[in-house]
């Protein structure tokens, strides 16, 4: 069956607009580089709040339904964010997990509204389950990470230089693998060394997190590592 004009228009326009939105978010992420920018927690909280509210309101505007059904979609987005946090920010995910495993307001809210909808015999909100939505977003997330890592790996940047921020307080760290790699990096290492087979940046208790580029990006984001301003690739 041939797609309608409106359907064709959506398929054509949505992908371009999504790509532009993701590109804009990539640009915002670069502001986290503490070797290039200075900011306050209040400023970041304000920026984060504006982004989160806008995204949720925009996505909840798709489709129709009762107030209860629209609320359910908002809760599903919270569940999605929590699940994706496991890959994007493992340390925060572990902290959140220690709290929500005992008292999970997201799950409670979702279960409550789901029960309410079933009790009132209203139309089921989604034709796609939450797990299917999560699967699609996970694929997109993995594709983005793979693409970014490939771009960084293929760039001619063997001599790019990184060093431990002398103002970073090492006593803040408790994980042995984090301490080990930063001690190793203390006086500076080039990108080629960081990628080497013996690099501490390949050490991690979790086999899935033994990716040196991802670990380097994390250290820079956390303000632990400074990158040279003349590096060929600025993370």
- The pLDDT tens digits for 56-99 are 777 777 766 666 676 677 777 777 777 777 777 777 777 767 66
Residue 218 lies in a domain: yes
Distance CA 234, CA 191 (A): 12
* Dihedral of the alpha carbons of 21, 25, 27, 30, in degrees to the nearest 10: -170
pLDDT digits (tens, 9 = 90+) for 150-160: 555 555 688 89
pLDDT of residue 127 exceeding 50, the answer is no
Residue 94 lies in a domain: yes
Answer yes or no: do 165 and 109 share one domain. Answer: no
Residue 232 lies in a domain: no
Neighbours of 174 (CB within 10 A): 7
Range of the domain at 93: 64-154
Residue 217 lies in a domain: yes
Q: What is the pTM of this model?
A: 0.41
Answer yes or no: do 91 and 19 share one domain. Answer: no
Last-in-domain residue among 102, 123, 154: 154
Answer yes or no: do 146 and 85 share one domain. Answer: yes
Q: How many domains does the chain have?
A: 3
Residue 157 CB partners (closer than 8 Å, separation 6+): 191, 231, 232, 233
């Amino acid at each position: 069956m041939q797609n309608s004009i409106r359907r064709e228009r959506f398929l054509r326009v949505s992908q371009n607009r999504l790509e532009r939105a993701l590109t804009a978010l990539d640009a915002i992420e670069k502001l986290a580089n503490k070797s290039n920018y200075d900011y306050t927690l209040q400023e970041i909280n304000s920026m984060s709040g504006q982004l989160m509210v806008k995204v949720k309101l925009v996505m909840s505007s798709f489709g129709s339904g009762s107030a209860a059904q629209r609320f359910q979609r908002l809760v599903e987005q919270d569940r999605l964010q929590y699940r994706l946090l496991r890959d994007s920010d493992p340390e925060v995910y572990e902290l959140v997990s220690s709290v929500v495993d005992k008292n999970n307001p997201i799950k409670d809210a979702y279960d409550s509204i789901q029960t309410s909808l079933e009790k009132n015999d209203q139309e089921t909100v989604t034709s796609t389950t939450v797990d299917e939505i999560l699967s699609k977003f996970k694929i997109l997330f993995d594709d983005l990470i793979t693409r970014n890592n490939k771009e960084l790996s293929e760039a001619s940047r063997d001599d790019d230089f990184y060093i431990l921020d002398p103002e970073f307080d090492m006593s803040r760290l408790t994980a042995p693998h984090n301490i080990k790699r930063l001690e190793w990096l203390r006086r500076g290492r080039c990108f080629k060394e960081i990628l080497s087979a013996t690099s501490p940046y390949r050490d991690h208790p979790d086999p899935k997190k033994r990716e040196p580029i991802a670990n380097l990006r994390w250290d820079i984001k956390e303000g632990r590592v400074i990158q040279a301003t003349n590096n060929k690739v600025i993370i």
